[in-house]
Structure 1
């Protein structure tokens, strides 16, 4: 009984952390869902709501590596809970202060910074609780997919019923799940252990950070980011422009894309642990490139829907493997690796999206998906520059629990 208790705590901790990831990323999805209400009820211009999006995403992406550095240097595990509560509070206040655009911009920016503070600290803890496996990282990662997917329905339900001032109710997921997380993971939450301290001194001396390999991985992730944002932004418009379908029909592909991504995230982590990270990364990019080409050549809107579902699944197959690979490249800077992987690289797509919009205006949306396909081919090619790296620094992240070690030894 005593040997299974630590294992149970690790498992409960990982599930509680995954739930907080869903709540945290819920507020990322809530920003996009609130924009139409700001236009309709607060009479904001399109340029104004674009500024709100910038406040939520740009500051968050730039801040994540900073919080990652702080986590590596000082521990500060409490940033995951503090970030979650800040993310929820900012979105909750956004509708209440809608009469002042400046106030909305500030509270949404605070929410974005909260999202940024959450990710590095939570990713470091997920790595510890799950033993550094891609499977456990995929479970943690899929929480974010779920949160983003649930946000539009929740925002429509709450704001549709109570108006913009009802946004205050949106803080409930942060408070409830944050409380559960604090109760389950109290010892982890206030641990001051840094990523460097997790690695024995002998390992730190023999396993230095490989910045060159990490930069190559960042380049691969850049192609992923643009492909992801490009597909999310233009897939519905593509179906409408090319096949003249209704907006309702066109939204099917848009809804399937993140749902398929959740499936791909879970499957990719499980497969990476069994067949190797690089094999799954390369397979994911190859299948994604083929799916994007299928969208370009699709003879009917039904084929677009099917190809988009396959694209969502294959694009997220490498997701967890890429995170754990970044940790192996920077074993002494896990927070920094997490911050860059989840922050700066994912923001690149947002920065490039106006350029893709300009291409769509001039050459049609189909051309955008030609670019997406080309980028995924480039990502597939670049993935062969990546190298596997397993070291004692990775295994040091495994839970020090005799029951778990015995289970791993027995396969």
Structure 2
């Protein structure tokens, strides 16, 4: 007997809301960087170091959290991660007189972001039925959160100075409460796949993990990560340095980048389900490379804003397809696959960020975008190494009378 994947729309929307809150803190870190430069006299290398703080421990913790999610479920980890991310960012402005203290609290926030993603993505895969379209909806929550962060930071810091970061914990508390209200019955469930041990054993026997293909995808995602983190870190500073704009005007590009990314995520998920994931991945990288070149060649700050929006749209077109590809390559390690695609690759971009900061200090920020355009082009070339895998997940489904079991495949 074949059954269709179950979907829980309320649960998916609640998770999407928490994803917005969680990634709000990633965007908040980027939005705070110009204020640390202006009000705390940090250098470009120093603020790039803050980006590293947000991602360094995350890069180590992400696979561990993914493994724990695969083994024990641990849905509560998404809630704990969200609250930790919010508290870390909230404290950053309060301790801005001490760079090491800022580095530590931002690092703690990054670990929270890392803890959130694997458990939440596994639950989103379950509640959404495993399609690229459903995953794109969950993913777009992150884009929305990042897009809202610059405005929230400007309001909070503009009103209270760097001490205003204390107000930024509010989204974590409010949307964490919403998630608990919707999902409390399942919050401490052992495994988001909801299968018995016998079913899990049979599932793993049906489909093997393709680590070679997953490794190739990780290389592609590394290029994506550098472009995403680099743009989030330097696009406002680029407008300020090259065109002498105000931080408020420069932040417009930083807001449009993830907002356009939200459109790209939803569009890309829909297109991937209809035209194939690899075609959409390659198209996105090609358009992203061209958009980055447009930023480099921009003659006015308005062109920078438009080109940054185009970059956000094109860079996120492959996003949901890359997540479901990762799940198809590692069907028995969904948590690890989610942790790498949503966390470790972002951390890789953060690790490179201080190097980009040094280049900006010794040359200029424009040179950073030239390098990112080249790296996105490398990602486009590497995407042709990727192969499609038709079956993402197999489950053994019990016959209603309990007489036999048959295989179910999710494509």
Cα distance, 1:150 vs. partner? 1.6
* In 1: Cα distance, 2:95 partner to 2:305 partner: 39
* In 1: Cα distance, 2:172 partner to 2:363 partner: 43
* In 2: Cα distance, 1:106 partner to 1:323 partner: 30
Structure 2-normalised TM-score? 0.83
* In 1: Cα distance, 2:311 partner to 2:274 partner: 22
Moved more, 159-168 or 222-231: 159-168
Moved more, 148-157 or 32-41: 32-41
Query: Match for 2:143 among 134, 142, 145?
Result: 145
Cα distance, 1:16 vs. partner? 0.7
Partner of 1:405: none
Residue 16 to residue 57, structure 1, CA distance change in 2 (3 Å):
same
Cα distance, 1:339 vs. partner? 1.0
Q: Deviations over 1:372-394 (max 9, x none)?
A: 23222221221111111132616
Partner of 2:172: 174
Partner of 1:375: 375
- Listed as ranges, the matches of 1:252-401 within 5 Å are 252-298=252-298, 302-360=302-360, 364-391=364-391, 393=393
Cα distance, 1:257 vs. partner? 2.0
Is contact 1:88-1:111 (8 Å) kept? yes
Instruction: Determine if the alignment matches structure 1 residue 122 to structure 2 residue 120.
Output: yes
Partner of 1:158: 156
Q: Deviations over 1:79-128 (max 9, x none)?
A: 01111122222333444555666554443332221111111100100110
Structure 1-normalised TM-score? 0.83
Moved more, 385-394 or 81-90: 385-394
Partner of 2:60: 62
Is contact 1:289-1:374 (8 Å) kept? yes
Cα distance, 1:349 vs. partner? 2.1
Is contact 1:328-1:394 (8 Å) kept? no
Partner of 1:246: 245
* In 1: Cα distance, 2:245 partner to 2:264 partner: 28
For residue 376 of structure 2, give the secondary structure of its aligned residue in structure 1: helix
Partner of 1:132: 130
* In 1: Cα distance, 2:154 partner to 2:368 partner: 30
* In 2: Cα distance, 1:104 partner to 1:291 partner: 33
Partner of 1:407: none
* In 2: Cα distance, 1:159 partner to 1:240 partner: 18
Cα distance, 1:302 vs. partner? 4.7
For residue 185 of structure 1, give the secondary structure of its aligned residue in structure 2: helix
* In 2: Cα distance, 1:364 partner to 1:169 partner: 34
| Aligned-residue RMSD, C-alpha | 3.0
* In 1: Cα distance, 2:362 partner to 2:34 partner: 26
Number of residue pairs matched by the alignment = 388
Q: Which runs of 5+ in 1 are unaligned?
A: 1-5, 398-411
Q: Deviations over 1:325-383 (max 9, x none)?
A: 10111111111111111222112222223333444556654443333232222212211
Moved more, 268-277 or 28-37: 28-37
Is contact 2:48-2:233 (8 Å) kept? no
Cα distance, 1:223 vs. partner? 1.3
Is contact 2:81-2:115 (8 Å) kept? yes
- Listed as ranges, the matches of 1:173-252 within 5 Å are 173-193=171-191, 197=195, 200-236=200-236, 238=238, 244=243, 246-247=245-246, 251-252=251-252
Residue 297 to residue 84, structure 1, CA distance change in 2 (3 Å):
closer
* In 2: Cα distance, 1:63 partner to 1:93 partner: 21
